[in-house]
Chains A and B, each alone.
Chain A
Amino acid sequence: MDLVSLGQIVISGLANGALYAFVGLGFSLISRSTGIINFAQGDFAMLGAVLTGFLVAGGIPLILAVPLAVLVCGLVGGGLHVLAIQRAERANMAQLIIMTIGFAILIQGAVTWGWGSDPIAIPAFTGSAPLDLFGVTILPQQLWLVGTLALVTALMWFFFQRTVLGLALRAGASNPLGAAFVGINHKRLGAYSFVAGGLLGGLGGAVWAPIAFAQVDIGIALGLKGFTAAALGGFGTTFGPIAGGLIFGLVESLAAGLISSAYTDAISYGLLLVVLIARPQGLLGKIKRGAVDDHREEVLSAGLLATRLSRQDFIRFSVAVVVLLLLSVILAASWKTAALFAGITAIVVIGMVLLTGFAGQISLGQGTFMMVGAYASGYLTLKQGWPPIAAIAFGMVFAGLLALVLGRFIFRLRGYYLAMASLSLLMIFQTLARELHGITGGPNGLPGIAPFNIFGMQFFSDDEVFFVILVATLLCLIAGLSITRSRVGRALLAMRSDELAARACGANVVRLKIGAFVFAAACASLAGSLYVHYLGIANPLPFSFKSSIEHIVALTLGGFLALYGSYFGAAVVVALPSVITTVFGDADTQAGAGLKFLLFGLLVIVVIILQSNGNTRRGSERVRGWLRSGLRLKTAET
């Protein structure tokens, strides 16, 4: 490779890195002042880019369009904090983070609904004639981007070091009580940081957009890469994300140029995984030693259905099964297919109830483990002639081992690293599935997978498959119930209530979390296998990030602790497109898909607000109930 191409790679790497730095700055600002990892951070940048494109297309001059778009992003950020996060005051951190996933879905859905998902071209600020520097071409827009970043950095430095409000905000970030002393309440601090996150993301997106295209799909990737920037630089530092973003942009660009452009994503997300595992405090951050970790995690509330699993659950569940069986006989064909997909989703969600509800960990990449099952079933039955049941078992064991290895590293850390780690693992597996043609058949996948069969019985028609999926769902449910009602389930609940106290009782919380993760992975793998045996083809598309969204929505709707709610949540998620089709016309159009995600996002946000408020009511009712029964005891004695 000659020096000129290398220079070219460095330039484009630095330019992309500047964008990641913008997103990363937003991540670290919000996380420092509120503790929340804001999943919508990349979508702020996407929104900035798309809005600029939309305004320019509408005839508004660029010089007005950019500030307007940035301003709107800031307002959206602040609005989400005021309207959603502040309404869920009793929500715990996991719920708030899931809520920001709701923001991301909401923004993506709204953009798709409003403008579609086609790329929008945006004119460069000052002409697109490239400059020439010793043979290396530099786009003027790249200079704009890096220059804006430099300006923002300088402004932020001035604000945080030289102004009273900035100093107070920094104090507030490390110590809410300190902030209260200088007259800034926690709520306002959070709202400011969300506005700042929106402005930073929007600005980065708007200035970057002319280099490439503005498109709704970039939101997720920008979020992950901006998170990597913040993780590399260290979440606790103000300016670390800038260095992190530039380093990450360079490495990514070098990897693409020197190794292989097909594997760029796999390499850059692999890098994120390595950073999370090897240096969770970031390259520049320091680990605090000896600090007492005395924050009690508040409790995830129950969702729409009841919290504790009792004997009545079995009765309720049996009733539900009977109703389902009847429905499967009565229902029209299209609904039957929906019931079938709902069953598959429910199996994934049952695993997530254990992982998120009981072990308090958020995974955004259960699609990874579904893919493991899907390709294990596809490859082993098609190419190796294994019987389906053996292939399914192999997939479940493999998925479990994968979860075990990842969990061993990730759960040593406190916080919500699993969310990002699992999402980057999903991105890596998506790339691998598209590129490893020999095993996965590439983007076309492995067609011609035989229907599920066991002991010579074929399960071919929808009714027969429905029976298989029903049995599988039931088995997972019984396994899940069996765990949650065991001493291990008690330890999981104890850990959720108070991790330190659980450890002081001798509970090994890392093992418990790994166990829940392995269970969730095995469930997802089973679901993936069943999916491909039903459809007859294994390809990467159904297991993309969109599937993760559906899992999270189903989990939230069904209730974080209610195993038997999984099917309910899954059914809503699967049925919603049909409802949209009925009410608004076709759900398969871009606008319909956008509307679906918009509604998903709204549902997640509203349900979490309801849950977090319901929590307190239920708590006070419990106290009152106890007092009443206590009084009754006393009167009975006298």
Chain B
Amino acid sequence: MTPVDDGERPVTSPVLQVEELSVQFGGLCAVDEVSFSVEPAEIVGLIGPNGAGKTTTFNCISGVIVPTEGNILIQGQTVTPFTPERACAMGVLRTFQNVRLFGELSLRENIMMGAYSAGRCSMVSAMLRLPIHARLEREAAERADHWMDLLGLMDYADAGATSLPLGLQRVAELARAMAANPQIVLLDEPGAGLNKVEKERLSDILRSIAAETNCALLVVDHDMGLVMGLVERLVVLDFGKLIAQGVPEEMVRHPDVVEAYLGVA
């Protein structure tokens, strides 16, 4: 596939490269020399049984934890120190396995927070309401409206974010990430806790995002139906090790993958 050139970034380099990533928690090796990459606008699934190290991998890619070994390249670049705010600035956004919306903000404000990285505005310029503040607020409001409209959240704009049903909260978290105009979004179990209808809607949304915005998606989920119907490529982890990667159809027949999931060869 040929990714769309947005005019600013080199087209050819993968948006995310993970090189020999290892994370050690005490004696436990939660992630063990894992390497894979994600191309622009690609939808990649990261799967594996419970405790395989998926969330830990996400935490490294989004700057939440410092890996014991290995490199993470965003658009071909490494950043040190790699913190969550740096990750966001580089266009890496994420959702959380346990939804983490801001309980004290309304839904609209949550999504506007997603556009916080659109520009810097000091506390003084905010207090004095300098033009930069108005410009950034307008921008944030536009992006929030755009994504709420697209993801069908308009009706709940003014509700307290954490008072919404879980399904809507997951969509809202996605909208918040998208409002940052990301290069890649990491979705940690976006389907967990959703019913069948909601899941179908979610995969439609994700597909249209990848198609229309040139944003790559890295999806973790335990619902194989959801993952298989969505992703172009799968990366399979087990006990922290990468055991296979490739197109979904091959992966379901891959002996190591079958063993990891069923416990027998």
Contact = CB atoms under 8 A, between A and B. Distances in A.
Interface stretch (A215-223, A288-296, A447-455, A525-533): A288-296
Q: Chain A, interface size: which category?
A: 35 or more
B96 interface: yes
Contacts of B101: 498, 501
Contacts of A633: 155
A626 B159 contact: yes
6 contacts: A490-B116, A493-B104, A498-B100, A502-B113, A504-B62, A626-B159
Given A505-B114, A626-B160, 17 more contacts: A290-B65, A292-B59, A292-B64, A293-B64, A479-B127, A483-B126, A487-B126, A498-B100, A498-B101, A500-B84, A504-B84, A505-B113, A506-B85, A506-B180, A515-B123, A623-B163, A626-B164
Interface string B84-119: 110111000110100011111100011011101100
Given A487-B121, A491-B113, A503 B83 contact: yes
A498 B110 CA distance: 11
B93 A504 contact: yes
Contacts of A308: 104
A513 to B, nearest CB: 11
* Interface footprint category on B: 35 or more
A504 B88 contact: yes
Most buried by B among A289, A307, A503: A503
A293 B100 CA distance: 14
A497 B105 contact: yes
B129 interface: yes
B222 interface: no
A622 interface: yes
Given A292-B65, A482-B127, A515-B123, A505 B116 contact: yes
Interface string B161-186: 00110000000000010001000000
Contacts of B137: 486-487
Contact of B116 (A293, A487, A515): A487
A599 to B, nearest CB: 31
A327 interface: no
Nearest to B117: A506
Interface in B128-170: 128-129, 133, 136-137, 140, 155, 159-160, 163-164
A168 to B, nearest CB: 20
A289 B69 CA distance: 13
Interface of A: 289-293, 296, 299, 307-308, 479, 482-483, 486-491, 493-494, 496-498, 500-509, 512, 515-516, 518-519, 622-623, 626, 633
Given A483-B127, A487-B116, A626-B160, A501 B100 contact: yes
B23 interface: yes
Contacts of B85: 503-504, 506-509
B109 A490 contact: yes
A494 B65 contact: no
Nearest to A620: B163
A626 B163 contact: yes
B68 interface: yes
Nearest to A486: B126
B122 interface: yes
Interface of B: 23-25, 56, 59, 62, 64-68, 83-85, 87-89, 93-94, 96, 100-105, 109-110, 112-114, 116-117, 121-123, 126-129, 133, 136-137, 140, 155, 159-160, 163-164, 176, 180
A488 B123 contact: yes
B129 A500 contact: no
Contacts of B88: 503-506
A512 B180 CA distance: 19
Given A486-B133, A501-B101, A622-B163, A290 B66 contact: yes
B65 A487 contact: no
Max count, chain B CB within 10 A of own CB: residue among A486, A496, A505, A626: A505
A237 B226 CA distance: 48
A490 B113 contact: yes
B173 to A, nearest CB: 9
Contacts of A292: 56, 59, 64-65
A479 to B, nearest CB: 6
A494 B127 contact: no
Nearest to A479: B127
Contacts of A622: 160, 163
A507 B155 CA distance: 27
A27 to B, nearest CB: 27
Contacts of B87: 504
Contacts of B128: 482
A507 B127 CA distance: 17
B64 A519 contact: no
A490 B112 contact: yes
Nearest to A503: B84
Contacts of A626: 159-160, 163-164
A494 B115 CA distance: 13
Most chain B beta carbons < 10 A, residue from A501, A503, A506: A506
B145 to A, nearest CB: 16
Contacts of B110: 494
B104 A307 contact: yes
Nearest to B24: A290
Given A292-B64, A507-B116, A497 B104 contact: yes
A502 to B, nearest CB: 7
B126 A493 contact: no
A183 to B, nearest CB: 25
A172 B110 CA distance: 36
Contacts of B114: 505
Given A487-B116, A505-B116, A506-B117, A291 B127 contact: no
B42 to A, nearest CB: 22
